[in-house]
């Protein structure tokens, strides 16, 4: 039985016909090396932007079903060209759109989620062909309508296909791998050769931004070994895998920075009300994701602090106005000059004193924090945005990132 | 029950976003007038050419399955934009790709033929929506592969859809309708308001070239009233319909000219051989379509004349060489400076003397012909290419085209 792998190439990796041909040569070598491949591709370069420009000339508010049908042609363009290129080189390859690959989705157009994938069909196709070139980002729903998966959709397609057929997934992009922190902030940052799903999730969610959270979550849930590397580069990338499979567990793997947050503090003097319940109902109603939640009750007074994305600012203001109307005696403050710095590492579970070391290094350098939250494998600090880069550098040095 | 019509707009009619919006406004008016519409569209302007240019950078000989997958995105682009435009104007519209519309095909990729269409599904969709925007030129085969229909494919899609649901079909293009002859040759030529399927077939096949033969054939077989007119023009076009439904039957409806023919004459002096059988076998083997066949036997000598398309010249030469090897005593001549002029009219059946009038007008003007063939509704003459336009003008004047 041949080794099957899923490979994914992003839009800039397939941005020109030349690049598609170069990738085809690379794929042919792997097939000659007795591999079977599912290759997931995005739309070429700026294709999606060009399609959206067509729409802008018609309306600001397009029908989302039709928008999905439109955007899906970007990937269909890439799969057919890549399959033409591979067949021209004598590789037995076949292209598959989302419908053809059996990627069934549910949920709303433009942000659908994958329900299931027909693994039997794909395995049959892999008997007949050496490479299946699958359109990323797209699927279909129960009405045979074309759907798209939203942000990070092609990565999600790739990981879901890998999960369906039980193969590892290699994601090729412009970066060489996952770094312990953003090298633009801390130049000495080293690339990680391995990182656990959990650590990657914290790093993604905390703004490291190489892979979308949902794609790492699927990999974690189905135990798909995930590789992140640079397209057609000899430089080794990063493997993302189960914690138990890591060869070496670091105490602190990375330091993440999220600059686009708001820090909100609410104080309510009448604890007898259903104030907190109403707050969470409202946040849910507007789909505002909150993070770093702390609640402190002191006598009849209650304080709630949380952070949320800066992009939700308008929703947040509506929620606060609404709460103000319903409840008396509420005070609130919203900090916009705020950032979140997090230290992440699976090893924290077993090693004490990480929090103390981090506290000490921040305090001794005059960096105050408004809030601290901890998870099993991370500690996050809400601090002044002005000081956030300095904090990242200090923490990276302290923990040898 | 509302009137249902199928409308088809060609590539230049939907070549820009502005044109798509203008057609949407027109379609909205028709919906407000209590109509339900199936609108078939081609790829926008030069889209198909652009896609083929991508392929040229990879190979001269692309895998045809993948070529179909590539080319199909042209129409998918148009349907989604038109559906976005219609929905934006408040029209209940939905786009359907070939697969979604249930246009099942058979035969080879890049020149598939329609096997059947799911009329029940379309009727259900028409209950829910006022306009279905269907991708022309494309369908799918039994393996759920995307197929395309080759030349005149979008017209064929439209007529087949009309046949499936029992509706008339309106085809909108750059021309205002069907003329009795090419107005570039005979400026006084008048547009026909009505023409029979049979006449249209003769005019198409004989090079009048407005509609592909296959599309008129489907219309004839399923008795689909076919309208040919100019996009968004108030000028009345031409209805193509059953002979029995014509209000007024003309003796001669049109004069057609085909300049791209070869005229071949073969003489064989040994009639005992299976020479003619072998000739037709060879023509069949190379898929050379022949026309204007005459065979004359005189004693032991036999003469066969026929015409074929100029584009088949290479195949023809191979066939003639092969016959020369197999049979002795064959003489052949191939005229390349030849054209075919035909007069077409349903009324010929009932009116005698048409052939005589045509012979007389040609002879008295010094135009000799190498061959004449007749069908029930047409007479064709093979003549010198140099004199062909003169012949067309003379015949048009004679028969008041």
User: Coil, strand, or helix at residue B157?
Assistant: helix
CB A392 within 8 A of CB A186: yes
Helices (H), B166-249: 197-203, 213-221
Q: Which of A398, A342, A345, A346 is nearest to A369 (CA)?
A: A342
The whole-number pLDDT of residue B267 equals 86
pLDDT value at residue A205: 57
User: Residue A146's closest CA among A210, A65, A205?
Assistant: A65
Which pLDDT score is estimated for A146? 98
Contact present, A79 and A39 (Cβ < 8 Å): no
Which segment of A7-16, A234-243, B293-302 scores lowest on mean pLDDT? B293-302
Burial class (CB in 10 A: 0-12, 13-18, 19+), A400: exposed
φ and ψ at A59, to 5 degrees? -160, 155
Residues on A contacting B at a C-beta cutoff of 8 Å: 17, 20-21, 51, 54-55, 57-59, 61-63, 65-67, 69-70, 72-73, 76-77, 79-81, 83-85, 87-88, 94-95, 97, 99-100, 144-146
CA distance B125 to A118: 27
Nearest 5 degrees, angle CA A89-CA A93-CA A95?
125
Could you tell me the end-to-end alpha-carbon distance of chain A, in angstroms, rounded to an integer?
Answer: 40
Q: Residues of chain B whose C-beta is under 8 A from some C-beta in A?
A: 17-18, 20-21, 51, 54-55, 57-59, 61-63, 65-67, 69-70, 72-73, 76-77, 79-81, 83-85, 87-88, 94-95, 97, 99-100, 144-146
Task: Answer yes or no: is B238 a known binding residue.
Answer: no
Judge: A17–B54 Cβ closer than 8 Å, yes or no: yes
What CA–CA distance (Å, rounded) separates B311 from A280? 75
Q: In this complex, which of A66, A76, A85 lies closest to B80 when CB atoms are compared?
A: A66
Do the Cβ atoms of B395 and B341 come closer than 8 Å? yes
Q: Measure A72 CA to nearest chain B CA, in Å.
A: 9
- C-beta neighbour count of A182 within 10 angstroms: 18
In B22-159 the beta strands, taken as DSSP E runs, fall at: 35-41, 93-96, 103-106, 113-117, 131-135, 138-140, 146-148
What's the pLDDT score for residue B271?
Answer: 61
Band of the pLDDT at A352, cuts 50, 70, 90? confident
Q: Per-domain residue ranges for chain A?
A: 4-174, 254-399
- Cα separation, A30 vs A21, in Å, equals 14
Q: What is the pLDDT of residues A113-170, one digit of tens each?
A: 999 999 999 999 999 999 999 999 999 999 999 999 988 899 999 999 999 999 999 9
Do the bridges between strand B254-268 and strand B330-344 make them parallel or antiparallel, or are there none, so unpaired? antiparallel
Q: What is the 3-state secondary structure (H, E, C) of chain A?
A: CCEEEEEEECCCCCCCHHHHHHHHHHHHHHHHCCEEEEEEECCCCCHHHHHHHHHHCCCCCCCHHHHHHHHHHHHHHHHHHHHHHHHHCCCCEEEECCCCCCEEEECCCCCCEEEEECHHHHHHHHHHCCEEEEECCEEECCCCCEEECCCCHHHHHHHHHHHHHCCCEEEEECCCCCECCCCCCCCCCCECCEEEHHHHHHHHHHHHCCCCHHHHHHHHHCCCCEEEEECCCCCCCEEEECHHHCCCCCCCCEEEEEEEEEEEEEEECCCCCCHHHHHHHHHHHCCCCEEEEEEEEECCEEEEEEEEEHHHHHHHHHHHHHHHHHCCCEEEEEEEEEEEEEEECHHHHCCCCHHHHHHHHHHCCCCCEEEEEEECCEEEEEEEHHHHHHHHHHHHHHHCC
Decide if B70 and A58 are in contact by the 8 Å CB cutoff: no
Give the integer Cα–Cα distance in Å for B123 and B1. 12
Contacts of B182 (CB under 8 A, 6+ apart): B189, B208, B257, B392
Compare CB distances from A59 to B54, B79, B88 and report the shortest one's residue: B88
What lies within 8 Å, CB to CB, of B279 at 6+ separation is B266, B304, B319, B323
Say which DSSP state B43 is in. -
The reply to whether domains A4-174 and A254-399 share a CATH topology is no
How far, CA to CA in Å, does B349 sit from each of B130, B250, B252, B358?
44, 11, 10, 15
Share of chain A above pLDDT 70, in %: 98
Beta bridge partners of A342: A256, A380
Q: DSSP letter at B269?
A: S
List pLDDT tens digits, range A184-213: 889 898 889 999 999 998 887 555 567 888
Least confident of A150-164, A263-277, A285-299, B176-190: A263-277
| pLDDT value at residue B121 | 96
Q: What is the pLDDT of residue A273?
A: 66
Cβ-defined contact of A66 to B54 (cutoff 8 Å): no
- pLDDT higher than 80, residue A300: no
Q: What is the ipTM of this complex?
A: 0.83
- Chain B residue numbers with beta carbons less than 8 Å from the beta carbon of A81 are 54-55, 58, 66, 70
Measured CA distances, B65 to A336, B46, B69 (Å) = 55, 21, 7
Give SS3 for B171.
strand
CATH architecture label of A254-399 = 2-Layer Sandwich (3.30)
CA A174 and chain centroid, separation: 15
On the CB side of A96, CA atoms within 13 Å amount to 26
**pLDDT of res. B272:** 64
Question: Measured between beta carbons, which residues in chain B are less than 8 angstroms from residue A80?
Answer: 66-67, 69-70, 73
Spell out the alpha helix ranges (H) of B196-312. Answer: 197-203, 213-221, 275-285
Does the predicted model carry a pTM greater than 0.95?
no
Q: Do B67 and A84 touch (CB under 8 A)?
A: yes
User: CA of A23, closest CA in chain B: separation in Å?
Assistant: 13
Q: Do B144 and A100 touch (CB under 8 A)?
A: yes
Q: Is the pLDDT score of A61 beyond 60?
A: yes
A48 is in an annotated binding site: yes
With a CB cutoff of 8 Å and minimum separation 6, the contacts of A216 are A197, A200, A201, A204, A226, A240
Query: How do the pLDDT tens digits run along chain B, 401 residues long?
Result: 679 999 999 999 999 999 999 999 999 999 999 999 999 999 999 999 999 999 999 999 999 999 999 999 999 999 999 999 999 999 999 999 999 999 999 999 999 999 999 999 999 999 999 999 999 999 999 999 999 998 889 999 999 999 999 999 999 998 888 888 888 889 898 889 999 999 998 887 555 557 888 899 999 999 999 999 999 999 999 999 998 777 777 789 999 898 889 999 988 877 666 788 888 888 988 888 888 888 888 777 888 899 998 888 999 999 988 888 888 778 888 999 999 999 999 888 777 788 888 989 999 999 988 889 888 888 999 999 999 999 999 999 999 88
Which residues make Cβ contacts (< 8 Å) with residue B225, sequence separation at least 6? B168, B169, B219, B239, B240, B241, B245
Nearest-10 crossing angle of helices B275-285, B313-326: 150
Q: Looking at beta carbons, which residues of chain A come within 8 Å of B62?
A: 84, 87-88
CA pair distance B384, B390, nearest whole angstrom? 10
Lowest mean pLDDT among A18-22, A157-161, A273-277, B250-254: A273-277
Residues A127, B312: Cα–Cα separation, whole Å: 41
Q: How far apart are CA B102 and CA B124, in angstroms?
A: 13
Residue length, chain A?
A: 401
Q: Which residues of B34-72 are buried (b: 16+ CB within 10 A; e: fewer)?
A: ebbbbbbbbbbbebbeebeebbeebeeebbbbbbbbbbb
β B3-9/B35-41 pair status: parallel
Say if CB B401 and CB B256 are below 8 A apart: no
Contact B155, B198 (CB under 8 A): no
Chain A residue numbers with beta carbons less than 8 Å from the beta carbon of B95 are 66, 69
- Pairs from B152-157 (Cβ < 8 Å, separation ≥ 24): B152/B211, B152/B212, B152/B214, B152/B215, B154/B8, B154/B10, B154/B40, B154/B41, B154/B42, B154/B75, B155/B8, B155/B211, B155/B212, B155/B215, B156/B114, B156/B212, B156/B214, B156/B215, B156/B218, B157/B8, B157/B40, B157/B98, B157/B103, B157/B114
Chain mean position to CA B75: 20
To the nearest whole Å, the CA of B267 is away from the closest chain A CA by: 46
The domain made up of B4-174 is a member of CATH 3.90.79.10: no
Residues 6+ apart with CB under 8 A from B299: none
pLDDT exceeds 90 at position A259 = no
Closest CA relative to residue A396, chosen from A251, A238, A254: A254
Contact check, Cβ <8 Å, A69/B85: no
Chain A: nearest CA to B67, how far in angstroms? 7
CA nearest A85 in B: which residue?
Answer: B58
Sign of the CA dihedral A122, A125, A130, A132? negative
Q: Is the pLDDT of residue A296 over 90?
A: no
């Amino acid at each position: 039985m041949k080794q099957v792998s899923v490979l994914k190439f992003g839009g800039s990796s397939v941005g020109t016909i030349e690049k598609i041909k170069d990738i085809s040569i690379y794929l042919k070598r792997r097939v000659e090396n007795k591999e079977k491949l599912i290759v997931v591709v995005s739309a070429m370069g700026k294709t999606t932007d060009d399609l959206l420009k067509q729409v802008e000339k018609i309306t600001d508010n397009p029908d989302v079903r039709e928008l999905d049908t439109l955007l899906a042609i970007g990937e269909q363009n890439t799969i057919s060209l890549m399959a033409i290129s591979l067949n021209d080189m004598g590789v037995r390859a076949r292209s598959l759109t989302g419908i053809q690959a059996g990627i069934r989705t549910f949920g709303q157009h433009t942000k659908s989620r994958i329900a299931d994938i027909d693994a039997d069909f794909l395995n049959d196709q892999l008997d007949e062909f050496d490479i299946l070139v699958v359109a990323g980002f797209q699927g279909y729903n129960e009405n045979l309508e074309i759907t798209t998966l939203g942000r990070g959709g092609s990565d999600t397609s790739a990981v879901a296909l890998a999960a369906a057929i039980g193969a590892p997934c290699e994601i090729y992009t412009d970066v060489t791998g996952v770094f312990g922190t953003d090298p633009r902030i801390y130049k000495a940052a080293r690339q990680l050769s391995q990182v656990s799903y959990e650590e990657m999730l914290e790093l993604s969610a905390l703004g490291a931004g190489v892979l979308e959270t949902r794609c790492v979550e699927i990999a974690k849930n189905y135990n798909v070994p995930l590789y992140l590397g640079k397209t057609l580069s000899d430089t080794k990338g990063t493997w993302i895998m189960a914690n138990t499979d890591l060869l070496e567990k670091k105490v602190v793997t990375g330091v993440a920075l999220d600059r686009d947050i708001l820090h909100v503090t609410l104080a309510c003097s009448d604890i007898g009300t259903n104030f907190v319940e109403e707050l969470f109902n409202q946040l849910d109603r507007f789909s505002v994701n909150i993070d770093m939640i702390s609640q402190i009750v002191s006598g009849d007074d209650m304080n709630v602090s949380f952070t949320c994305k800066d992009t939700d600012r308008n929703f947040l203001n509506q929620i606060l106005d609404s709460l103000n109307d319903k409840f008396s005696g509420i005070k609130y403050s919203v900090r916009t000059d705020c950032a979140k710095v997090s230290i992440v590492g699976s090893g924290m579970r077993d090693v004490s004193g990480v929090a103390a070391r981090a506290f000490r290094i921040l305090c001794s350098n005059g960096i105050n924090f408004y809030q601290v939250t901890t998870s099993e494998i991370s500690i996050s600090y809400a601090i002044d945005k002005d000081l956030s880069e300095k904090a990242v550098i200090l923490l990276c040095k302290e923990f040898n990132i």
